[in-house]
């Protein structure tokens, strides 16, 4: 495949079939295998918005890093081995500072683009942890773009935690959420520079707004706008700080899905996936940091659709045979 760094790259991976990549405008995918294990189970993929050549991959058997847009990979030497990698976050002004979230629940920080790592002293509120047959995992993290010393992380299943000193110390912020499994089953977090003291998170019930740095949570009800509200992913448009996207479905394994968009920080919502019919829950959403009009989504059951015009029109992209049970999509 002829590669030009001027066009965004799209990475897709899942439980089966490994990791594949294409560039915006292409219709065919290429398998990425150089330095990756043959039995790769992809859990998460993330592109550094400040260094798009740096791509991170989370798997059931550790993390991998690429410094050349996925052409080659090497294993990330975290302080502990045998971890599942579920989330990544990037510092908005220090491109070499990276955060990794794992299962069992732990957060690691690198200040040198993944060469060395520190273990951060997170806290887990035992009252927020629910046994669903898998270890509690750090499912999502965000660094406040207006105040990078402030971080938030969500656990599946274990509620929310907050750091106000760049990750050096943490505290639980589950006020009003304890005692209800649906409220502490976190699926995503986001923050906008328009609301520098207000984190947002999603649970299986839908989105929540965290007033006063997450000290009090307010539910954002999607039901007036969508008949399906099981929420799996939640992303802020990097080029429009007031616009949020939510990937939803009828249930975890449901065969109906939708991409919802809010242009007023969650007050109202509309269907954004006009012209396509998701075949299952929209599990992942990714917006390009380099191209304001590029959005890609994937569903649980192997469907990928993207837009190159900000969601005005969409196109489905057939994946190579065997790439299914999707868990991750990332756009550079």
CATH code of domain 87-319: 2.130.10.10
Residues 97/110, Cβ–Cβ less than 8 Å: yes
Q: For tokens 């989105």, what's the residue?
A: 207
pLDDT digits (tens, 9 = 90+) for 212-230: 999 999 999 999 999 999 9
Alpha carbon distance 212, 225 (integer Å)? 27
Long-range contacts (CB closer than 8 Å, 24 or more residues apart) made by 318-321: 319/12, 319/17, 319/20, 319/29, 320/17, 320/20, 320/29, 320/31
pLDDT of residue 5: 59
pLDDT of residue 2: 44
Instruction: Please name every residue paired with 102 in a beta bridge, in sequence order, or none if there are none.
Output: 85, 106
pLDDT digits (tens, 9 = 90+) for 284-308: 999 999 999 999 999 999 999 999 9
- Give all strands (DSSP E) within 41-105, no chain letters: 42-47, 55-59, 62-66, 74-75, 84-90, 98-103
Alpha-helix runs per DSSP H in the chain? 181-184, 211-214
- Using a pLDDT cut of 70, give the percent of the chain over it: 98
* 1: pLDDT strictly greater than 80: no
Residues 230/258, Cβ–Cβ less than 8 Å: no
- Spatial neighbors of 67 by CB under 8 A, at least 6 apart, are 53, 54, 113
* 312: pLDDT strictly greater than 80: yes
Torsion (CA) 9, 28, 232, 14 in degrees, nearest 10: -100
Number of other residues whose CB lies within 10 A of the CB of residue 174: 20
pLDDT digits (tens, 9 = 90+) for 5-24: 579 999 999 999 999 999 99
pLDDT digits (tens, 9 = 90+) for 76-93: 999 999 999 999 999 999
Q: What residue segments make up the domains of the chain, in order of their start?
A: 87-319
């Amino acid at each position: 495949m002829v590669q030009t760094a001027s066009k965004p790259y799209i990475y897709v991976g899942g439980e089966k079939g490994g990791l594949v990549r294409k560039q915006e405008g292409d219709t065919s995918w290429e398998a990425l295998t150089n330095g990756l294990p043959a039995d790769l189970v992809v859990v998460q993929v993330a592109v550094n918005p400040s260094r798009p050549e740096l791509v991170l991959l989370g798997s059931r058997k550790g993390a991998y890093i690429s410094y050349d847009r996925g052409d080659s990979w090497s294993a990330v030497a975290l302080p502990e081995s045998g971890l599942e990698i579920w989330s990544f976050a990037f510092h908005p002004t220090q491109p070499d500072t990276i955060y990794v979230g794992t299962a069992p629940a732990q957060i690691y920080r690198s200040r040198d683009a993944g060469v060395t790592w520190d273990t951060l002293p997170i806290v887990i509120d035992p009252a927020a942890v629910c046994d669903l047959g898998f270890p509690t995992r750090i499912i999502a993290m965000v660094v406040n773009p207006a105040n990078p010393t402030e971080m938030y992380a969500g656990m599946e299943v274990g509620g929310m935690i907050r750091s106000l000193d760049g990750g050096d110390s943490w505290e639980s912020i589950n006020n009003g959420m304890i005692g209800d499994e649906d409220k502490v089953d976190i699926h995503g977090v986001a923050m906008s520079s328009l609301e520098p003291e207000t984190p947002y998170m999603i649970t299986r019930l839908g989105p929540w707004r965290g007033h006063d740095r997450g000290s009090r949570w307010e539910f954002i009800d999607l039901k007036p706008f969508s008949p399906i509200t099981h929420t799996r992913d939640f992303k802020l448009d990097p080029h429009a700080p007031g616009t949020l996207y939510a990937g939803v479905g009828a249930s975890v394994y449901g065969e109906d899905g939708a991409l919802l968009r809010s242009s007023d920080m969650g007050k109202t919502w509309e269907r954004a996936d006009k012209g396509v019919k998701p075949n299952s829950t929209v599990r992942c959403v990714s917006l390009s940091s380099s191209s304001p009009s590029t959005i890609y989504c994937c569903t649980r059951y192997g469907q990928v659709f993207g837009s190159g015009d900000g969601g005005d029109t969409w196109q489905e992209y057939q994946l190579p045979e065997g790439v299914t049970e999707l868990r991750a999509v990332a756009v550079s």
